[in-house]
Each structure stands twice: as C-alpha cells, then as structure tokens.
C-alpha cells in the first residue's frame, strides 16, 4: 500500500518507520524544514527500545507536495491546530479513493476533516503508542502500544477493518472499534491529566504520580470529562478511567514526558490544550456543565505559553 504520513513528528515518525519496516511504500510529509533536511541527509534516526536504528524514507515539505502523486492511505499526525493547513496543503495527493485516517490527540477533528475530505473516506482512530522527538530527524521509540479505528462514513466498516489489518501487519497492533468516540474520550482523559500537569509542574509522569495530591487532582479532572461526555451519550466509567490514567505511573512508562511537555517546555511551541482540556471547557459552557479544573488548566497553560514566548 502507498502511504503518506502527514505530520512526521515523534508519533508520525514511529508509524512511518514501522510501516516502512513492514515493506510498505511510505512518504513522510511535514512542515518543519530542519527535520526534513535531517531525514533527507541522514535517514530517520531512532533510539528504538534501546537500539539505534536508521531508516531512509522519502520526505517532503507539506507546502511543496507534488500534486501528481496519489496515496492509498494518508495517516494524519499533525498537531490539532495544524490540521486544517496540512489538509489544505496536501489536497493534490488526495485521490477520490484515498482513505484518510486521523489519529490526532484531542476532540472535535471530524468537523475540520469534512471540509477537505469526503465523509466516506474519513476514518477516526486512537493510538496508545508512545514516542519522543529528540531533535531534527531523531526520535525515541519505546514500549508497546495499540491502535483502534472506526469509519466515519456509513457502511464503511469493512474498509476500516482492512486498514486495521494493514497496520497490524507492520506490528502496530490495530483493531476495529464500534465505539471510537469512547476510546478517544478515554485517551483524552490521559492527555487532560498527564499532559498539562507534567507541563505545569515540569516533571515526568512518574514524578507527578508520586505527589500526595496526584490522585485527588486526577479524579477531579476525569469527573469533568465524564460529565461532558455523558451529555454526548458517551458513558465513561470514572473509577476505571482513574486507574487507567494512574497506570502511567508504572515504571515501564513513568519516565515519559508527554507530548505537551515536549512541545512547550522542550521546544517552546504552542500546545494542543484547546483541543483537550480547552475542548471540555468549551463543551461545558455549551452544555451548562461546570468544568472548573479544565477551565483553570487551560488558562494556566496559555499563561505559560505567553511567559515562555516573552523570554
């Protein structure tokens, strides 16, 4: 299958590398020029579970994508706020039958996707793989993960299952879901706790989990996500979700600094907070559901963005 990874940061690089190692024709597309040049010159360099690996892949600047080239599958891994621009830039490579799988963190991406991609070609997913970007062309890949995905268009279940089988052939452990929004909300609870809290407290997940107030804070945030999801007829088990979030303190992943920490603290870039806690805050206002923790966390992350930008 001819595949494009639209957004070749840490996670996009992981999927691109694993799919290429699975024997597929993979092209990376990104907007970070230094990253692209590093991959072109040295290949994609990875610390892959402690072993140094290098894979040479075609890589293109999104604003310079050749419109004559078409792909069977495009996997979206941009930051949420970059989604519209990426889809606009790569319109030329989206054929009538090109399937687009969106694996972004956060909530509310289908509305943007539908502006650029026919609904029957859109697939929505959730991944629990982890990855870290260590510099232009360099990533750290560790641990084990999975992917769930579902069709957005009606009667496209078989297409979704075929994509899942295809990803699994390269070790990505993908499966079809008949309730992907539940899984997306479930992951959003992890991001809505671990991402913003480690960023604000300047620590990794294990260090946060070791604090005396960690459990209390996590419970409050997860309850807000569950209250908003309930209005949308998505029933989240708060007790199970709290345990799921707190599994991030396990020694196998406790040293991980989540993507928001990488973006803001390490790379001084804007975060996806408006698509995680910020989305819950907006939905809460819309539905009349109080979300004081998400309101405060969103405001504090934006304040930290401004402070770091001013330095």
Active-site positions read 187
Q: What angle do CA 208, 206, 79 make, to 5 degrees?
A: 80
**Cα gap 303→311, rounded to integer Å:** 13
Helix (H), strand (E) at residue 112: helix 110-113
Q: What angle do CA 83, 133, 272 make, to 5 degrees?
A: 35
Q: Over the Cα atoms of the chain, what is R_g? A: 19
Q: What does the CA dihedral 33, 35, 38, 40 come to, rounded to 10 degrees?
A: -70
User: How does strand 51-55 pair with strand 44-48?
Assistant: antiparallel
User: How does strand 147-151 pair with strand 131-135?
Assistant: unpaired
Segments in 146-291 forming alpha helices (H): 157-168, 180-190, 196-201, 205-209, 214-231, 238-246, 259-261, 277-287
Q: Alpha carbon 177 to chain centroid distance?
A: 17
């Amino acid at each position: 299958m001819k595949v494009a990874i639209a957004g070749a940061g840490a996670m996009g690089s992981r999927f691109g590398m694993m799919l290429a190692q699975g024997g597929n024709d993979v092209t990376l597309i990104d907007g970070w020029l230094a990253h692209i040049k590093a991959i072109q010159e040295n290949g994609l360099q990875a610390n892959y579970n402690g072993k140094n690996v290098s894979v040479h892949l075609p890589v293109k600047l999104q604003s310079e994508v050749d419109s004559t080239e078409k792909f069977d599958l495009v996997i979206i891994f941009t930051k949420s706020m970059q989604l519209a621009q990426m889809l606009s830039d790569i319109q030329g490579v989206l054929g009538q039958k090109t399937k687009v799988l969106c694996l972004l963190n956060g909530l509310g991406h289908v509305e943007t996707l539908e502006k650029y991609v026919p609904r029957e070609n859109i697939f929505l997913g959730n991944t629990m793989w982890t990855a870290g970007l260590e510099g232009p062309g360099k990533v750290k890949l560790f641990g084990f993960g999975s992917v769930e995905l579902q069709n957005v268009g009606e009667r496209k279940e078989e297409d979704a299952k075929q994509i899942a089988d295809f990803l699994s052939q390269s070790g990505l452990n993908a499966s079809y879901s008949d309730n992907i929004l539940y899984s997306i909300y479930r992951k959003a609870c992890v991001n809505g706790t671990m991402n913003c809290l480690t960023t604000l407290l300047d620590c990794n997940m294990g260090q946060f989990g070791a604090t005396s107030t960690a459990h209390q804070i996590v419970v409050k945030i997860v309850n807000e996500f569950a209250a908003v999801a309930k209005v949308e007829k998505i029933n989240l088990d708060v007790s199970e979700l709290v345990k799921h979030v707190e599994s991030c303190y396990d020694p196998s992943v406790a040293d991980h600094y989540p993507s928001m920490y990488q973006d803001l603290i390490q790379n001084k870039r804007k975060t996806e907070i408006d698509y995680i806690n910020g989305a819950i805050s907006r939905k809460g206002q819309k539905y009349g559901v109080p979300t004081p923790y998400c309101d405060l966390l969103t405001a504090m992350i934006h304040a930290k963005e401004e402070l770091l930008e001013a330095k």
